[in-house]
Amino acid sequence: MLRKILLFLTVFALSAPAFALTDAENAALKKAEVTLNSVKTMKARFLQVNPDGSSHEGDIYVSRPGRMRLVYDPPTPMLMVADGTFLIYVDTEMKDASHIGLDDTPAGILLKDNLSFSDPAVKLNGVKIGPGTVEITASMAKDPGAGKLTMVFSDAPFELKQWRVVDSQNKEVSVTIFDAKTGVNLDKSLFRYETRKSGDRE
């Protein structure tokens, strides 16, 4: 019995925020959960702003849980694919790809199945309610130092409009989405990336 109580307290400590939430902040968290979990597929345009101030546009495809594809407009030689297991960064010019475990990145929060901010795997860092906006910041509980994700929602209607990622070097990348369409049919091949072997033909 004591072991079960200790286990419960450990899980509760991991999932509970280290700060008190107001009724309005709790309500905003619930709205965010319902909004994100209602989106199973999405296609949209995006604008990405990098730490050095440079920006890129492109198309984003999302299929929750776990799958996302960012296709950058030319001449940006970059592609990003989340295949359910890995987040894959691709230099399309050099045909070089690096794989990072999806749950080792803040993107894993955004793509979780049935996201809950009380999930022990998710650490809630803060809720900010401003004029017409709600910002929720979270990180992966097992490694908060890997980066933080801030999701920005419009208030009326309550929709995800932007997310910002601050990495372990405290560098921020923001992605703003627009012209979003949800509930769309997406080809499963969008969320696969296979590294070509030397000698393979294009």
Domains of the chain and CATH, by start: 22-181 (2.50.20.10)
**Residue 92 and residue 30: Cα distance in Å, rounded?**
39
Q: What is the mean pLDDT of residues 64-90?
A: 96
**Residue 120 and residue 142: Cα distance in Å, rounded?**
9
Question: Cα separations (Å) of 187 from 13, 41, 111?
Answer: 41, 11, 17
The pLDDT confidence band at residue 167, using thresholds 50, 70 and 90, is confident
DSSP 19: S
Question: How far does CA 99 lie from the centroid of its chain?
Answer: 16
Give the three-state DSSP class for 142.
coil
Residue 106 clears pLDDT 80, i.e. is over it = yes
Between 57 and 193, where is the model more confident?
57
What sections of the chain are H helices per DSSP? 2-15, 23-38, 107-110
Residue 202 clears pLDDT 90, i.e. is over it = no
Q: What is the pLDDT of residue 199?
A: 41
Question: Cα separations (Å) of 139 from 25, 48, 150, 167?
Answer: 18, 20, 9, 10
Residue 201 clears pLDDT 80, i.e. is over it = no
Least confident of 16-30, 123-137, 168-182: 16-30
For all residues of the chain together, what is the average pLDDT?
A: 87
pLDDT tens, position by position, 174-196: 999 999 999 999 999 999 997 65
Q: What is the pLDDT of residue 5?
A: 35
Q: Classify strands 172-182 and 78-83 as parallel, antiparallel or unpaired.
A: unpaired
The pLDDT confidence band at residue 144, using thresholds 50, 70 and 90, is confident
The pLDDT confidence band at residue 19, using thresholds 50, 70 and 90, is low
Strands (E), 3-130: 41-49, 55-63, 67-72, 78-83, 86-91, 96-101, 122-130
pLDDT tens, position by position, 152-163: 999 989 999 999
DSSP 20: P
* First-to-last C-alpha distance (Å) of the chain: 62
pTM: 0.84
